[in-house]
């Protein structure tokens, strides 16, 4: 009997998806206890080929293709609709699962009731070269709070660390919240917004680091600048949809500098040996990217649908 459904939304990252699905095929949980549901969010043909190859190894894999790219909120909602497990485990396509991931999530849900969600840990893959920027990113708390304030056990408030890179919840709880709001264009804040709606309905979130998975790719400052622009845009969507949400801009904008100062910091970060220059450079670039999305992009999807 299928007890848990692993849900993987994906868009045009066939190499990363290959590693993700291979790791899910190697779980130590019995194959008849879980299924893998991959939703191809309008990718090119390379992703479809990877799903077909993965199905040769994992007979418990279900593949669904959306006709056009609609964003991770839409893809995750479709994945839930196509799945059958009592528990749904959301995993990003750049995540590599440890062999015990499914089993650990199942163990934490056993007898816990339908209001529990379980946050697993995500670390850099051991095969990656962890750069100075990646180490700084961990300590900054700008991506995840695993290295800052999170501690094993209950998370308060639960919406503050509701990260769907490696997170499980009961189907009943997901349906109680009505799913992800599909007006979010990117993978940013759509998960916390769902948790915000579920918190008054009794959501409990436990952080369990033994449910471990890995980032399958490194990240550069250029990559993260691009992401933070999207985070800023999603923050504008969140503010429009949920004005009462305690959106904290202080972290992303803490390093805000003028364009001239940012240029100077970029030079100093390259030529000066002091770590402080490099960190100021990182923060200035992150703030600039976030503010570009937060202030300069109109949340068009919200305007169209409200």
Query: Which pLDDT score is estimated for 294?
Result: 85
CATH 3.90.550.10 fits 4-129+145-215, yes or no: yes
CB hemisphere CA count around 78 (13 angstroms): 22
- With contact defined as beta carbons under 8 Å apart, do 294 and 249 qualify? yes
Rounded (5°) CA angle 223-165-27: 120
Bond prior to 77 in cis (omega within 30° of 0): no
Burial class (CB in 10 A: 0-12, 13-18, 19+), 291: middle
Strands (E), the chain: 4-10, 34-40, 61-65, 87-91, 95-97, 116-124, 153-154, 166-170, 204-215
Q: Give the bridge partners for 259, in sequence order.
A: none
Query: Which pLDDT score is estimated for 297?
Result: 60
Q: For each successive 10 residues of the chain (306 residues), what is the average pLDDT? A: 96 96 96 96 94 92 94 96 97 98 98 95 97 94 94 96 97 96 92 96 97 96 94 93 89 73 67 76 87 73 50
CA distances from 117 to 39, 58, 66, 109 (A): 22, 26, 27, 8
In this predicted model, what pLDDT tens digit does every residue of 132-172 receive, in sequence order?
A: 999 999 999 999 999 999 999 999 999 999 999 999 999 99
CB atoms within 10 A of CB 304: 8
Rounded (5°) CA angle 181-226-289: 95
Most distant CA atoms of the chain, gap in Å: 61
In this predicted model, what pLDDT tens digit does every residue of 235-274 receive, in sequence order?
A: 999 999 999 999 888 778 777 776 776 666 566 677 766 6
- With contact defined as beta carbons under 8 Å apart, do 106 and 198 qualify? no
Strands 166-170 and 87-91: antiparallel
Query: Which pLDDT score is estimated for 306?
Result: 45
List every span in the chain annotated with CATH 3.90.550.10: 4-129+145-215
CB atoms within 10 A of CB 263: 12
């Amino acid at each position: 009997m299928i007890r848990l459904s692993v849900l993987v939304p994906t868009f045009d990252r066939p190499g990363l998806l290959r590693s993700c699905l291979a790791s899910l095929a190697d779980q130590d949980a019995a194959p008849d206890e879980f299924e893998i549901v991959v939703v191809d969010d309008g990718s090119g043909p390379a992703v479809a080929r990877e799903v077909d190859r993965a199905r040769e190894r994992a007979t418990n894999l279900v593949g669904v293709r959306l006709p056009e790219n609609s964003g991770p909120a839409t893809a995750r909602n479709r994945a839930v609709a196509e799945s059958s497990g009592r528990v749904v485990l959301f995993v990003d396509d750049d995540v590599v699962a440890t062999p015990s991931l499914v089993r650990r999530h199942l163990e934490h849900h056993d007898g816990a009731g339908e209001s529990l969600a379980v946050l697993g840990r995500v670390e850099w893959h051991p095969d990656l070269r962890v750069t100075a920027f990646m180490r700084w990113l961990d300590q900054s708390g700008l991506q995840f709070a695993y290295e800052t304030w999170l501690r094993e056990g209950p998370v308060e408030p639960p919406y503050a660390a509701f990260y769907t890179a490696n997170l499980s919840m009961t189907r009943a709880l997901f349906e109680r919240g009505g799913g992800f709001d599909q007006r979010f264009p990117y993978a940013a804040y759509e998960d916390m917004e769902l948790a915000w709606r579920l918190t008054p309905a009794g959501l409990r979130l436990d952080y369990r680091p033994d449910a471990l998975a890995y980032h399958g790719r490194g990240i550069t400052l250029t990559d993260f600048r691009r992401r933070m622009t999207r985070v800023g845009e999603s923050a504008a969507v969140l503010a429009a949809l949920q004005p009462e949400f305690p959106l904290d801009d202080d972290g992303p904008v803490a390093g805000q500098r003028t364009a001239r100062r940012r240029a100077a910091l970029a030079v100093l970060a390259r030529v000066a040996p002091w770590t402080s220059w490099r960190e100021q450079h990182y923060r200035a670039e992150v703030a600039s990217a976030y503010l570009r999305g937060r202030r300069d992009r109109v949340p068009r999807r919200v305007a169209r649908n409200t």
